[in-house]
Amino acid sequence: MEEKKNSKKKVIIIIAALVLLALAVPALFLFGDGGALSLAPAVTIETPNKMSRSDRGEFTLDVTLSDLKEGELYPAASFSMNFDANKLEFLGLEEGNVLVPCEKKANGAVTELPKWGVNVERSNEIGQINVMYLDPTGGRQAFSKDLLPDGDRVLFRLRFKLRGSVQSGDIIEISFADAVFAASDEKDSLASVKNTLKTHSGRVIIGN
């Protein structure tokens, strides 16, 4: 009799363990750092192909966006990215392919490329690139999911060249210090500090 009771207890424990495991596995996919959804939108700095220390031409790194929340408008966005100013010289931004609305133009277009602001000289002085977009209309020229293109969604491109101090084997990180898509209501904003906006850093690798 006692043996049957122990057997039943073992079965119950095994079933309970299986239930917990079934609940835990989806959670691993749904939840990331700090409990935020890993399906949250993400911004990523591209990692280019391995470079040589003798490469002295300019090169660009795409900064891409995975997605935005359905139905939300983001009239402001800002990104702070750290880099080694002794190894890389930041030369400025190039256009991406993510658009914002605008007043109807003569050719009938109702969208345009956002006008990103950045101080190139200051970026090289402090080793941090601070990029900002501010909708001057307060909402009519905001970022939205509806205007995201299919395929790669490039917000902008970072233009660099290698400095003379680079050495073979160097791995130069370009990492996000902060990233925000600001909504009119702060609770709807996406921010890396709140884990509602994921960030993925890039790196420049100097081969042997």
CATH of the domain at 122: 2.60.40.680
Find, among 111, 79, 115, 84, the residue nearest to 197 by Cα.
Answer: 79
Same domain for 92 and 139: yes
Tell me: the pLDDT tens digits for 187-208?
Answer: 999 999 999 999 999 999 999 7
Q: Which amino acid, one-letter code, is at 5?
A: K
**In the numeric block, which tokens belong to residue 169?**
């084997």
Question: Which residues make beta-bridge pairs with 124?
Answer: none
Query: Given a cut of 80, is residue 27 above it in pLDDT?
Result: no
Determine the 3-state secondary structure of 20 from DSSP. helix
Which residue range(s) make up the domain with 155?
39-205
Tell me: the pLDDT tens digits for 48-85?
Answer: 999 999 998 999 999 999 999 999 999 999 999 999 99
Same domain for 81 and 156: yes
Q: Please, are residues 186 and 168 in contact by the beta-carbon 8 Å criterion?
A: no
Query: Given a cut of 80, is residue 102 above it in pLDDT?
Result: yes
Same domain for 81 and 47: yes
**In the numeric block, which tokens belong to residue 158?**
């970072």
Same domain for 150 and 130: yes
The Cα 197–Cα 39 span in angstroms is 9
